[in-house]
Amino acid sequence: MSNPGVPFVDLSRALASERAELLAAADRVIRSGWLIHGTEHRSFETELARYLGVGHVIGVGNGTDALELALRAVNRDERRTVLTVANAGGYTTTAARAAGFRVGYVDVDPQTHLMDVSAAATAIDDDTFAVVITHLYGRAADVAGLRAICEPRGISVIEDCAQAIGARTVDGLVGSMADLATFSFYPTKNLGALGDGGAVATHHVELAERVRRLSQYGWADKYTSTEPGGRNSRLDELQAAVLRTRLPRVDDGNQRRRDIIARYAAAAPDGLRVLPAEGPNHAGHLCVVETADARALAEHLAGVGVQTAVHYPIPDHRQPSTARSEVHLPETERLTGRILSLPCFPELTDDEVDAVARGLTAHDL
Q: Which pTM value belongs to this model?
A: 0.97
- Running DSSP on this structure, what letter comes out for residue 170? T
Q: Please tell me the predicted confidence (pLDDT) of residue 2.
A: 44
DSSP string, 294-329: HHHHHHHHHHTTB--B-S-SS-GGGSTTT--TT---
Banded model confidence at residue 151, pLDDT cuts 50, 70, 90? very high
pLDDT in tens, 267-324: 999 999 999 999 999 999 999 999 999 999 999 999 999 999 999 999 999 999 988 9
Q: Is the pLDDT of residue 146 over 60?
A: yes
pLDDT in tens, 22-60: 999 999 999 999 999 999 999 999 999 999 999 999 999
Q: Going from the N-terminus, what domains does the chain have, and what CATH number goes with each?
A: 12-247 (3.40.640.10), 249-361 (3.90.1150.10)
Banded model confidence at residue 3, pLDDT cuts 50, 70, 90? low
In the chain, count of helices (H) and strands (E)?
Answer: 13, 14
pLDDT in tens, 78-104: 999 999 999 999 999 999 999 999 999
DSSP string, 185-223: --TTSSS--SS--EEEEES-HHHHHHHHHHTBTTEEETT
Edge-to-edge strand order for the sheet containing 287-290?
A: 273-274, 287-290, 339-342
Q: What's the chain's average pLDDT? A: 97
Residues 6+ apart with CB under 8 A from 198: 59, 60, 61, 62, 63, 64, 65, 66, 182, 183, 184, 185, 233, 235
pLDDT in tens, 309-340: 999 999 999 999 988 989 999 999 999 999 99
Q: Is the pLDDT of residue 4 over 80?
A: no
Q: Cis peptide leading into 91, omega within 30 of 0? A: no
Q: Please tell me the predicted confidence (pLDDT) of residue 32.
A: 97
pLDDT in tens, 202-259: 999 999 999 999 999 999 999 999 999 999 999 999 999 999 999 999 999 999 999 9
How far, in Å, CA of 147 to CA of 115, rounded? 13
The bridge status of strand 224-225 relative to strand 219-221 is: antiparallel
Q: Please tell me the predicted confidence (pLDDT) of residue 364.
A: 85
How far, in Å, CA of 92 to CA of 160, rounded? 8
Q: Please tell me the predicted confidence (pLDDT) of residue 1.
A: 35
How far, in Å, CA of 49 to CA of 71, rounded? 20
Q: Is the pLDDT of residue 113 over 90?
A: yes
pLDDT in tens, 354-365: 999 999 999 987
CB atoms within 10 A of CB 252: 11
Q: Please tell me the predicted confidence (pLDDT) of residue 365.
A: 74
The bridge status of strand 81-85 relative to strand 128-134 is: parallel
